[in-house]
Chains A and B, each alone.
Chain A
Amino acid sequence: METIETDVAVIGAGGAGLRTAIALAESAPYLRVALISKVYPMRSHTCAAEGGAAGVVKPDDSYDTHFDDTVAGGDWLSDQDCVEYFVREAPRELLQLEHWGCPWNREPDGSIAVRPFGGMKKQRTWFAADKSGFHILHTLFQTSLQFESITRFDEYFALDLLVDDGRCQGLVAMDIRNGQLRQFNAKAVIICGGGAGRMFPFTTNGAIKTGDGMAMAYRAGAPLKDMEFVQYHPTGLPNTGSLLTEACRGEGGVLVNKHGRRYLQDYGMGPETPIGKPQFKTMELGPRDRLSQAYWHEQKKGNTVTTPWGECVLLDMRHLGEKKINERLPLVRELTATYLGIDIVKEPVPIRPVVHYMMGGISTDTRAATPLPGLFAAGECACVSLNGANRLGSNSLVELLVFGRRAALSAIEHIEKQPPANTAALAARAQETEQRIKDLFARSSGGETVAALRREMMTTMETHAGIYREEAGLQIAAAKLQELRERYQRVVLTDRSSVYNTDFYQTLELGSLLDCAQAVTVGALARRESRGAHQRLDYPERDDKNFLRHTLVHHQGAAAPRVDYLDVVITKSPPGIRDYSGGHK
C-alpha cells in the first residue's frame, strides 16, 4: 500500500471541507493539505442548498437577536457558548465569501440584500437567488484552486481512520478509479463528510449523503451526539423529494389544506397574517419542526389533498407574481415545472415534509474538536451543538463556514505540539483495513444483498423513526437495526472488479448508514420527552429535568451501542417557551 505523507487530511470537499482547506492554506501555507473526497468537489451536496445563509448585517439587527432565535429554535438544546461564537463570526464569514466572488443578491445601492426566513426575528438571510448553496460551493471550490498547498484527491473513498497512541493520525482511502488503497499519514484529520439523510426513503439528500464520515469517526471511538434529531423540511416535492426552499415562504408563499384553510393557525402559529405579507416567526415563518408536525396532524384529520404521490398540503405562491418569482425563486419555478408539471405562477404546488438535515453528528466542541485527539469535524457531519433540537433554516450554510474555518485553526494548534508518529503502528492499522476489504471481496456465501438490506433499513426508519415516534415502534426499529447490522456481515458483492466498482462503494455506504441509523433509534428510544424535531407520542412534553442534555452514542463493535449524556451549556438563556404566535399568544 502506497503511503502519502501529509500534515492535515480533510475528508470531504463540500462547503465545510473546502472552507477548512482554504483556511489551512491561508493561515499555514507551510502545511501540506490533502483534500480527500469520494466525489469531485462541485458534486458535493452543499450545491443543493437553496435559501441562504444567516448573518447579522442590518442596523436594526443584533447578535443577541440571532442568538435568541437560534437557541429558541433549537428548543434550548444548543450549547450557548457555541451559538455566541457562531453569531459573532457569521457576518465575517459571509463577507469573506463576498470578497471571494459569491454572487449575493444586492440592494439597489450595491450593498448586500437579505431576506426573511423561518424562525428568525429579523431579515438576516444573505442569498444568491434560490441557489445560495450552489454559489457558495462553487465560489469556495474555484477560490481553492489558487492555493498550492492543497492537494486534492478527487474520487477517493475514505475507509478508516488511523488511531495510535490515543490520537488520530491519518486514514486509509481507496482510489475509486483503480481500487488501489492509499495510506495517508497526517498530524490531524478533519472530517467534513456531510449528513446521512439517505437512511430514509424520502429525502432531499443526494445519493452521496450516506454518513460515511460520521460512521468512520464513530467506529474509531468518537461518539455521535444527538442523532435522534432529524429535521423534516416542510416543503418537499411529493414525487422526487426535491427541496422547495423555505424562501418560498420567506418571500410570502402560504400553506393551505384541502379546504383552503391556512392551517398553521390551528397549531399555535396564528393568528393568520395577511396574504403576501409574511411576519417574522409566525404562521409560514414558524420553524421547520413545528410546520412538519402540523402537516402530520392535518393528515390524521383528513385535511390533506390526495395526490398520485401521497397525501399533500398546498404551497400557494401565485400572489407573488411572475416578476418576483423569476427574480427570487427561479429554481423553484423550474424544478416544479420540470418534475411536477406545475407552474407556480399559475397554480399551488402539492408538497409534503421530507427528511432534510441531521442536527446530530460527530460530537465536537466549540473548537470543532472531537473527544478523539487529532480528530476534528465540521459541517453537517458534526454536532457542534449550534442547532440543538431543531436547526433554523439558513444557519447551516454559515455553520459550515464558521466551523470549517475553526476546525482548521484548531488543527494548526494541535499539530504544533505533536510527538513524531509511530509509523510501524500506523502501517499495522492500515493493514487491518486492507484485510477487512479483502475479506469483503473474498466472501462468496451469505446470501444478503445491499439492495434488500437498504430497503428494509429505509422502511424501518420511515415507519418508526419519522416525525412522531413512540416506545413500541422505536423498540422494533432498534432491534431491526441490530439485526440488519448482523446480516450486513453476510453481504456478498456481485461485482468484484477494481475499477469504479459502485456495487462495492454502495456496500460501504450501507454499512455507514446502518451505524448512523442505529444511533438515531437508540437515541430516540432513550429520550423520553418531546423536544424540537424529536416528538414522542408517549412523552409529549419537554422534560428539562431529565433531558436538558445531549445524547452521546458510543460504538461497541458488533454489539448494540452504549448511550450516555453530556450537559447542555447554558450561559444566559434559561429554557423558556418557544413562542411562534406572532406576539399574540
Chain B
Amino acid sequence: MKERLVQLEVFRYNPDTDRQPSYQRYEVSCLEEWVVLDALNKVKETLDPTLNYRWSCHMAVCGSCGMMINGEPRLACHTFLRDYPGVIRIEPLVHFPVERDLITAPDDFMAKLKRVKPYIIRKQKQPLEAGEYKQTPRELLRYRQYAMCINCTLCYAACPEYGLTKHFIGPAAIALAHRYNQDSRDQGRDERQEVIATKEGVWECTFVGACSEVCPVHVDPASALQQVKIASSFDWIKEHLLPGGGK
C-alpha cells in the first residue's frame, strides 16, 4: 500500500496557557487509503500526546469528529487523505465556542434540540397491550430520511444564518422536529410549530442549502426547512383567510 508523508496544519488552543490560538505543523507518514482521523491519531500516538479532539466510531455514525478540514465542515473519519494532495489545514468547527484545540462546545445545539420536542407526543396514548401503531412502509418513508441525523452539527458550521444570528434554531434541530411532525404516530405538530414556525425558526433560513451539502448522512435538512415553511404558510392561510380559521 502506498505511503505518503502528510503535512497537517492544526489549530491549537489551550485556555490554561494560551492567550491566542496558533497553528502547529505536523508531518506524519500515512497510508494513502487513510482518513484524516487516522493521521490525527498517528500524531497523537507518536508525536504529540497533547493534541485534543473527539472521536469514537470511525464509521461516520457517532458524529463525534466534526471539524473544519481545509475550511469545510467535515467528519474526520469520513474524509480521505487521497482527496487532499497538499497541506491539510484542520480547525475546530466554526460557529461554536472552542474549548480546546479541535474541541468545541455543542451546548447551544443541545439546548435547541430539546426545545423542538423531538419525541412522540400523543393526545391519547395507546397501551402497549394494544400492540404497535400501524405504520405502512410509505408512511415510514415520509420521515425516515430526517431520522438519520447523527447530530454531528456540521450543518450549523456550514449555515451562514446561524453564523450571524445565534438564536436561529438551525438545520438539524428543525429537521428533527420535522421528522416527528411527519411521523404518522405523532400528534404534537402544533406544539413544535410554536418553536420552529417562527422568526427564530424556519423564517430565519434564507435557503442557502449549505446544510444539505455538508451533511455526511444525506439528511437534507434544507428540504425539511422548505417543507416546514410551506406547511406553515398553509396554516397561516387557513387561519387568516379562510372563513372560521379553516376549522
Contact = CB atoms under 8 A, between A and B. Distances in A.
Interface of A is mostly: loop
A510 B103 CA distance: 22
Contacts, number: 150
Contacts of A502: 44, 52-53
Contact of B105 (A99, A109, A177): A177
B56 A206 contact: yes
B63 interface: yes
Interface in A510-555: none
Interface residues of A, number: 61
Nearest to A57: B132
B52 A501 contact: yes
A437 B176 CA distance: 41
Interface string A130-154: 0100110010001101100000001
A450 B61 contact: no
Chain A CB within 10 Å, residue with most, of B59, B78, B126, B147: B59
Interface in B184-218: 185-186
Nearest to B128: A95
B176 A142 contact: yes
B160 interface: no
Contacts of B106: 40
A98 interface: yes
A138 B55 CA distance: 18
A103 B143 contact: yes
A95 B131 contact: yes
28 contacts: A40-B106, A42-B151, A43-B62, A96-B128, A98-B132, A101-B119, A101-B183, A105-B137, A106-B135, A107-B137, A108-B136, A110-B135, A110-B136, A111-B134, A131-B61, A131-B148, A134-B61, A134-B150, A142-B118, A154-B110, A177-B99, A242-B59, A451-B45, A497-B14, A499-B99, A500-B100, A502-B52, A502-B53
A206 B57 contact: yes
B135 A47 contact: no
Interface string B45-68: 110011011111111111110000
B16 A43 contact: no
B110 A40 contact: yes
Q: Size range of the interface on B? A: 35 or more
Chain B CB within 10 Å, residue with most, of A43, A241, A495: A43
B61 A110 contact: no
A33 to B, nearest CB: 16
Q: Identify the 10 closest CB pairs spanning chains A and B, nearest first.
A: A110-B134, A206-B56, A494-B49, A495-B50, A497-B16, A142-B118, A101-B120, A206-B57, A500-B100, A503-B49
B140 interface: yes
Contacts of B52: 500-502
A165 B71 CA distance: 56
A146 B45 CA distance: 41
Given A106-B136, A145-B113, A239 B56 contact: no
Nearest to A327: B137
Given A98-B133, A105-B140, A497-B14, A240 B103 contact: no
B231 to A, nearest CB: 20
A106 B140 contact: yes
Interface of B: 1, 14-17, 33, 44-46, 49-50, 52-64, 78, 99-101, 103, 105-106, 110, 113-114, 117-120, 125-126, 128, 131-137, 139-140, 143-144, 147-151, 176, 180, 183, 185-186
A239 B16 CA distance: 38
Interface of B is mostly: loop
Contacts of A154: 110
A573 interface: no
A207 B105 CA distance: 20
A115 B11 CA distance: 47
Nearest to B61: A47
Nearest to A507: B49
B50 A208 contact: no
A99 B131 CA distance: 9
Contacts of B78: 338
Given A95-B132, A101-B186, A47 B57 contact: yes
Interface in A6-59: 39-40, 42-45, 47-48
A243 B59 CA distance: 9
A242 B114 contact: no
B89 to A, nearest CB: 21
Contacts of B62: 42-45, 47-48, 206
A100 interface: yes
A401 B205 CA distance: 39
Nearest to B14: A497
